[in-house]
Amino acid sequence: MKEIKKVVLAYSGGLDTSVIAKWLEDTYQCDVVTFTADLGQGEEVEPARAKAEALGIKEIYIEDLREEFVRDFVFPMFRANTLYEGEYLLGTSIARPLISKRLIEIANETGADAISHGATGKGNDQVRFELGAYALKPGVQVIAPWREWDLNSREKLLAYCEEHGIQVEKKKGKSPYSMDANLLHISYEGGILENPWAEAEEDMWRWSVSPEKAPDQPLYLELTYKKGDIIAIDGQEMTPATVLTYLNKVGGENGVGRLDIVENRYVGMKSRGCYETPGGTIMLKAHRAIESITLDREVAHLKDELMPKYAKLIYNGYWWSPEREMLQKMIDESQECVNGVVRLKLYKGNVVVVGRQSDDSLFDENIATFEDDAGAYDQADAEGFIKLNALRLRIAANKGRNLN
């Protein structure tokens, strides 16, 4: 690794990244630039400025990226109805390419020759941050302290803070879980969750009530779509971040969006995690509903076939890849006529579609009706259709091929 003069650090202001800021200065004898992003994690990010200043940091970036996050990352992902391994809504995964993008942009603005992050050597985030960084700036140096240092426990980190005079905020009742939050979700790992048989404790959840404690009366919502994106709720126009904020609120109040899964990490291990994604759970259900009346059958089926590949690309950190961009163009093209309104009922953890309408609907009541269709559909045509599709099966049976 060449000499490092300046490094941009993805900085939260917490224990790990505060230690990393000082460690980078001492180890590489370089200047450190801190970057703190507000992605809707629900905590004030401005205190990170004071913490960085206390460490002697001269260049400090603190940015509100909530609208960009939802508009340019979350919404495009939901146009594909994206789920990793059939369940995970990719709340952590989709935030990493935006952070990588800003790290590189800030490195270019400040003349830094390296970036750094606080992801461990066991997880997916190191891959996501670094794949994005290399795609956007091939020659950038990446420093991942958790792969280099020996400060591999909380006790050692605290000892380092004491030795170097780093002030660490000691919160009472600190959660035993490793958590990551943004406007799409909050995740929980570690603690008793490392035993996949153990049920998550009720007081772990932060964003939602349990379905048992949700209101006894359902909540109805109407979501208006334009080209596959929600533009209004109950007739009121909203920005992308405002849409997701509101859906998180009402979804959480009605027990929507809890998930407990064991997923396959890109680095090879299985990991058990719990997630709260109330707004995303509502968005997925509603988007499939509006597509059900506006998309051609084969387009819808092709999207469903491509989705697992698209989800895997995002989960593994390949947002900034040509194959993801190619898939995105196909997905976005499919959304030109995905316009209309979906009516939902939220009730005790459930999201129920109760209505959908669109000027671009392909649903024809005259053809679909069980009543007299006045000749709109000739049922006799079905006989030839069936025989033609059965031809290969009949030939095989006549040749003595037994499929039993």
Beta-bridge mates of residue 81 = none
Residues 254 and 114 in one domain: no
Residues 189 and 149 in one domain: no
Report the pLDDT averaged over residues 186-195: 95
**Domain stop point among 138, 164, 190:** 164
Report the pLDDT value the prediction gives residue 372, as an integer from 0 to 100. Answer: 83
Residues 258 and 142 in one domain: no
Round the average pLDDT of the chain to a whole number and report it: 94
Residues 94 and 234 in one domain: no
pLDDT in tens, 126-175: 999 999 999 999 999 999 999 999 998 888 999 999 999 898 776 655 67
Residues 132 and 11 in one domain: yes
Q: 144 with 119: CB under 8 angstroms?
A: yes
Active site residues: 16, 96, 125, 178
Q: 108 with 140: CB under 8 angstroms?
A: no
Report the pLDDT value the prediction gives residue 373, as an integer from 0 to 100. Answer: 79
Q: 319 with 298: CB under 8 angstroms?
A: no
Q: 187 with 273: CB under 8 angstroms?
A: yes
Report the pLDDT value the prediction gives residue 42, as an integer from 0 to 100. Answer: 86
18: closest CA among 38, 34, 37?
A: 34
Residue 136 lies in a domain: yes
Residues 288 and 386 in one domain: no
Q: Domain span at residue 140?
A: 6-164
Residue 404 lies in a domain: no
pLDDT in tens, 356-389: 999 999 999 888 888 887 888 889 999 999 999 9
CA distance 42 to 32: 26
The CATH number that applies at residue 353 is: 3.90.1260.10
Residue 327 lies in a domain: no
